[in-house]
Amino acid sequence: MRTRKIAMSKVTLFALALSLFMGAFVLKSQAQESKNYFVVVDFMKVKQGDEAKYVELEKEVWKPIHEERIKQGEIVGWVLYAIHYAGSDDEYNFVTAALFDDPAKLEHTFQVDMEKVHPGKDLDKAFAETLSSRELVRKQLLYRDDFVYPEGGPGDFKYIQVNFMKVKPGSGGAYVEHERKVWKPVHQALVDAGTRSGWSLWECVYPMGAGMPYDYVTVDYYADFSKLGAADVMGAFEKAHPGKMMNELTTETNQVRKQVKAELWEVIDSAWKQE
């Protein structure tokens, strides 16, 4: 039997791999939360009318491969997202994310016996269909700096709001510290209230530089669509910072970073390491 292994150099040709925020970026057991994580995000452009075919390929061809990667210990999770309110002029409309618990595992990815995963399947045809179903617009590696999840581990989520942040030059450390001291307790209060399933802060690793449109990403997790916009942010702020003025701390936040944009991503499918 001919063994097929996908090396790093072939990822851009074959893999609808890795996924969040990014949030993604949520694991399914409390034990895993003692670690920190890297996520590789693939941004995909699918032509209008080809969405169903693309999703079918992800579920039937690539999800079993990611499940084998999880079984082998290469990754701990994979998520397929659809981007809401994206049109033909937008850069991407689907995202995949793969979560790693060890940076050493990022060097050689997709060391999978493809024929073992799909015995008897015409893999050349599957690869060709994959390439024709979407364009891999770009890839990104991010590192999770911090998070808030419910007691007992991350809550189930169906939607995430991904917030893209541009930090002033030289202010990365100050920004992260500000998120931890000011806004993390607010997100904790929202999670405690049950209006959010979690929050996480991610730092862009590659590509990076002054020319990048954003440097950090925060992710708000929601169990279902009804939770969007339902959070009492002011009440959560007052609980987290009694006696302090929200507008003053918001002004301080805006002095170190600018929110470039926010996007709504829906979980279409996923696979996670089972403990």
pLDDT digits (tens, 9 = 90+) for 221-240: 999 999 998 989 999 999 99
pLDDT at 29 over 80: no
Is it the case that residue 8 has pLDDT exceeding 90?
no
Domain assignment present for 15? no
pLDDT at 153: 64
Q: What is the pLDDT of residues 192-206, one digit of tens each?
A: 999 999 999 999 999
| Residue range of the domain that includes 235 | 37-272
Residue 209, amino acid: G
Q: Is residue 19 part of a domain?
A: no
- Residue 121 pLDDT exceeds 60: yes
Instruction: Tell me if 5 is assigned to some domain.
Output: no
What is the per-residue pLDDT for 154? Answer: 64
CATH code for the domain in which residue 250 is found: 3.30.70.100
Is the distance from CB of 203 to CB of 219 less than 8 angstroms?
A: no
**Cβ contacts of residue 229 below 8 Å, gap of 6+?**
none
End-to-end CA distance of the chain: 32
Q: How many domains does the chain have?
A: 1
Does the residue 29 lie in any domain?
A: no
Residue 3 lies in a domain: no
Give the pLDDT confidence of 154-178 residue by residue, as tens digits. Answer: 678 999 999 999 999 999 999 999 9
If you average pLDDT over every residue of the chain, what do you get? 88
Residue 153's contacts (CB-CB under 8 Å, 6 or more residues apart) are 27, 28, 29, 30, 32, 33
Q: How far apart are the C-alpha atoms of 230 and 227, rounded to whole Å?
A: 5
In a domain, 26, yes or no: no
Alpha-helical regions (H) of the chain: 11-14, 51-57, 63-72, 114-117, 123-133, 172-178, 184-193, 233-240, 246-256
The pLDDT value recorded for residue 274 is: 85
Q: Is residue 13 part of a domain?
A: no
Q: Is residue 16 part of a domain?
A: no
CB 87 within 8 A of CB 267: no
pLDDT tens for residues 32-88? Answer: 455 789 999 999 999 999 999 999 999 999 999 999 999 999 999 999 999 999 999
In the structure, what pLDDT confidence band is assigned to residue 3 with cuts at 50, 70 and 90? Answer: very low
